[in-house]
């Protein structure tokens, strides 16, 4: 920050140097147009174009794109807290999984007596000789309650954890390690059968949602379009948020938190609020993910899953909003290809990609397009020297 911040309630804050790197209006319109086209073209290529046609999109491809759009929402949430607020979380997988488990509980109740044991209880409870639903399944048969809990459960967990962490002024690598420990502890908890969350297998074999079969092409496309519109909505909301005075304060906290405190702002409120918002975004992404993929288990809470979210944001470009979406599509698209062609080398490729981005593309793929990466700058400086425009 180059200037002292005005007191709370005065004139709007100027954009910080890093915060002003955002994508312009034309590029924003291009991103929205691309996402809208994706939400329209994919259903047409899958449902209208015949299966033998070269342009036909398979059910697998539709499911893969839907998954990546859910991941893109998580990457966008990571960008809000890491790129714009300077909070690196290595545990956002817990919020994604909590939203998924809430939706999974509803879907398990909708199976009814169509399960293998023809019982009102989910099959895994019958197998474990449970006689009744546990207390935390009380509202799982209501779709409206499920929608509320998808927001409230990740939001409440994030609020409690964030309040004590930010109040204690834990930051930097220590905060990242604590978030990783949180998601790892939650994963171990959900692996236990007595918690009532399906243990190692989690929830699967879903039949219906709102009385409609989940596996039909029509429902699959409804969920796909809903996911695309949700991603667009969150992107527009995030762009509006970072352009407001609230967003400017977040960027100021990222760049100089101590100066923000000395000028009358309370970083706790800002950090806690954006932390909860990002957690809710991940929870909603998890709720959209589960009915389309057909399974949710504790593996979604693994530390590796949370680390991948930060990789998507880093590869695409932090503090750009567009970058994390691009990074989610690029990394997961590459993952899908490599795990089919060279599955044993994918983790090496992912690690090499992250190292290359750190060393040569500090502003990610978006920075590469804009030409403001370190390696491009060196190439340009060398070209100017060779042309005699710059002294060696």
pLDDT digits 0-9 by tens, 149-207: 999 999 999 999 999 999 999 999 999 999 999 999 999 999 999 999 999 999 999 99
Angle at which helices 303-316 and 346-360 cross, to 10°:
40
Residue showing tokens 């390690």: 177
One pLDDT digit (tens) per residue for the chain, 392 residues: 334 344 433 334 434 334 434 445 676 777 778 888 888 888 888 888 888 888 888 888 999 999 999 999 999 999 999 999 999 999 999 999 999 999 999 999 999 888 888 888 999 999 989 989 999 999 999 999 999 999 999 999 999 999 999 999 999 999 999 999 999 999 999 999 999 999 999 999 999 999 899 989 889 999 999 999 999 999 999 999 999 999 999 999 999 999 999 998 999 999 999 999 999 999 999 999 999 999 999 999 999 999 999 999 999 999 999 999 999 999 999 999 888 888 888 888 888 888 888 777 778 888 777 665 556 566 666 677 777 654 44
HEC assignment per residue over the chain: CCCCCCCCCCCCCCCCCCHHHCCCHHHHHHHHHHHHHHHHHHHHHHHCCCCCCCCCCCHHHHHHHHHHHHHHHHHHHHHHHHHCCCCCCCCCHHHHHHHHHHHHHHHHHHHHHHCCCCCCCCHHHHHCCCCCCCHHHCCCCCHHHHHHHHHHHHHHHHHHHHHHHHHCCCCHHHHHHHHHHHHHHHHHHHHCHHHCCCCCCCEECCCEECCEECCCHHHHHHHHHHHHHHHHHHHHHHHHHHHCHHHHHHHHHHHHHHHHHHCCCCHHHHHHHHHHHHHHHHHHHHHHHHHHHCEECHHHHCHHHHHHHHHHHHHHCCCCCHHHHHHHHHHHHHHHHHHHHCHHHHHHHHHHHHHHHHHHCCCHHHHHHHCCCHHHHHHHHHHHHHCCCCCC
382 within domain boundaries: no
Phi first, then psi, for residue 109 (nearest 5°) are -70, -30
238: tokens are: 């995030």
Write down the pLDDT at residue 39: 82
Give dist(CA 280, CA 272) in Å, integer.
Answer: 12
26 within domain boundaries: no
Name all contacts of 8-11 with Cβ < 8 Å and 24+ positions apart. 8/264, 8/265
Question: Rounded to two decimals, what is the model's pTM?
Answer: 0.88
Give dist(CA 158, CA 94) in Å, integer.
Answer: 10
137 within domain boundaries: yes
349 within domain boundaries: no
365 within domain boundaries: no
145: tokens are: 């309650």
Write down the pLDDT at residue 120: 87
Residues of the domain holding 204: 69-319
Write down the pLDDT at residue 373: 54
218 within domain boundaries: yes
Write down the pLDDT at residue 16: 39
Domain count, the chain: 1
Write down the pLDDT at residue 358: 76
> In sequence order, which residues have a C-beta less than 8 Å from that of residue 256 and are 6 or more positions away?
1
188 within domain boundaries: yes
360 within domain boundaries: no
């Amino acid at each position: 920050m180059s200037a002292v911040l005005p007191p709370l309630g005065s004139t709007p804050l100027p954009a910080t140097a890093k915060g002003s790197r955002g994508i312009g209006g034309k590029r924003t319109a291009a991103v929205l147009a691309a996402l809208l086209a994706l939400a329209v073209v994919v259903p047409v290529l899958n449902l209208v174009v015949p299966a033998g046609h070269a342009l036909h999109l398979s059910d697998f491809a539709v499911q893969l794109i839907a998954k990546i759009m859910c991941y893109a929402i998580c990457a966008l949430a990571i960008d809000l807290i890491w790129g714009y607020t300077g909070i690196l979380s290595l545990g956002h997988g817990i919020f994604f999984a909590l939203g998924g488990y809430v939706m999974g509980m509803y879907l398990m109740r909708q199976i009814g007596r169509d399960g293998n044991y023809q019982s009102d209880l989910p099959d895994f409870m019958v197998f474990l000789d449970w006689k009744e639903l546990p207390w935390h399944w009380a509202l799982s048969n209501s779709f409206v309650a499920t929608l509320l809990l998808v927001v409230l459960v990740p939001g409440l967990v994030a609020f409690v954890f964030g309040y004590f962490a930010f109040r204690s002024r834990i930051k930097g690598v220590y905060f990242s390690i604590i978030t990783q420990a949180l998601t790892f502890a939650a994963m171990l908890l959900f692996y236990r059968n007595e918690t009532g969350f399906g243990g190692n297998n989690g929830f699967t074999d879903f039949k219906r949602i709102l009385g409609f079969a989940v596996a039909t092409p029509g429902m699959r496309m409804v969920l796909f379009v809903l996911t695309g519109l949700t991603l667009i909505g969150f992107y527009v909301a995030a762009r509006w948020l970072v352009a407001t005075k609230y967003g400017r304060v977040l960027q100021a906290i990222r760049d100089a938190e101590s100066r923000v405190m000395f000028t009358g702002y309370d970083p706790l409120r800002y950090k806690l609020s954006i932390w909860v918002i990002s957690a809710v975004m991940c929870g909603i992404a998890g709720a959209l993910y589960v009915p389309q993929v057909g399974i949710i288990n504790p593996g979604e809470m693994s530390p590796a899953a949370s680390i991948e979210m930060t990789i998507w944001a880093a590869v695409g470009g932090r503090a750009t909003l567009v970058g994390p979406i691009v990074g989610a599509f690029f990394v997961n698209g590459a993952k899908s290809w490599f795990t089919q062609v060279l599955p044993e080398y994918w983790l090496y490729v992912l690690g090499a990609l992250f190292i290359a981005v750190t060393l040569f593309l500090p502003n990610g793929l978006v920075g590469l397009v804009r030409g403001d990466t370190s390696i491009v700058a060196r190439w340009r400086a060398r070209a100017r020297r060779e042309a005699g425009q710059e002294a060696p």
